[in-house]
Amino acid sequence: MEDREVRINNRIRAREVRLIGVEGEQLGIVPFFEALRKAEEYGLDLVEVGSNANPPVCRIMDYGKFKYQRKKKQQEARRNQVVSQLKEVKIRYKTDEHDLQTKIRQARGFLMDGHKVKFLMYFRGREVAFVNLGHQTMERVAAEMMDVATLDKPPKMEGRQLAMYLASKGVVKRRPEGTDAEDED
């Protein structure tokens, strides 16, 4: 709910309201001015929380505190969101074994952080004749990544490049480089 949508005190336009007390108890349907008077007795605000109901639902509360708590909840929700990005890893059909393992390790790190990974393989000039070797390499990469990823889109030619998409199975906390499970004893 935005601040402009929430009506408080004299901005409420209904003649009668369903009133909820300070402790959350139902006080029934009362005329608007009586509800406003009760809110003023407590030194609090009359806040319209259910404008679509007939009659509208109003609650006696501290509006400033209500806004503060709502803002905190929104910040907490944003903080807990996992932002997933698409990371690209470029390889060639003739990439050496060690270099390929380095790229796989890099992609594994992205997947463990919860990101999606797009493997791209470019073919220049007459290299397009070796698309079958590219498919074999991509399938090997996918097989090595299955413990941390799922195949989102299998290898497919997109113009002069072969693209494969992998999605993370979930966010995994990574250990800092150089630590092993045995070291933690």
Residue 133 to residues 56, 91, 100, 107, 128: CA-CA distances in angstroms? 68, 12, 14, 21, 10
The answer to whether residue 178 scores a pLDDT higher than 70 is no
CA-atom Rg of the chain in angstroms: 30
At residue 185, the pLDDT reads 42
At residue 132, the pLDDT reads 92
pLDDT tens digits for 79-92?
877 677 889 999 99
Region 171-182: mean pLDDT is: 53
pLDDT tens digits for 79-127?
877 677 889 999 998 889 999 999 999 999 988 888 899 999 999 989 8
- 49 or 140: which carries more pLDDT confidence? 140
At residue 162, the pLDDT reads 93
Q: Provide the 3-class DSSP secondary structure of residue 96.
A: coil
Long-range contacts from 100-107, C-beta under 8 angstroms, 24+ separation: 100/137, 100/141, 104/141, 104/144, 104/145, 107/141, 107/145, 107/166
At residue 183, the pLDDT reads 47
At residue 177, the pLDDT reads 54
Region 9-22: mean pLDDT is: 82
Residue among 2, 78, 8 nearest 45 (CA)? 8
Q: Which of 17-26, 50-59, 64-73, 164-173 has the highest mean pLDDT?
A: 64-73
Domains of the chain plus CATH, in order, are 9-79 (3.10.20.80), 86-168 (3.30.110.10)
Give strand pairing partners of 61: 45
Q: How many CB atoms lie within 10 A of CB 53?
A: 13
Burial call 144-182: b when 16+ CB within 10 Å, e when fewer: bbeebbeeeeebeeeeeebbbbbbbeeeeeeeeeeeeee
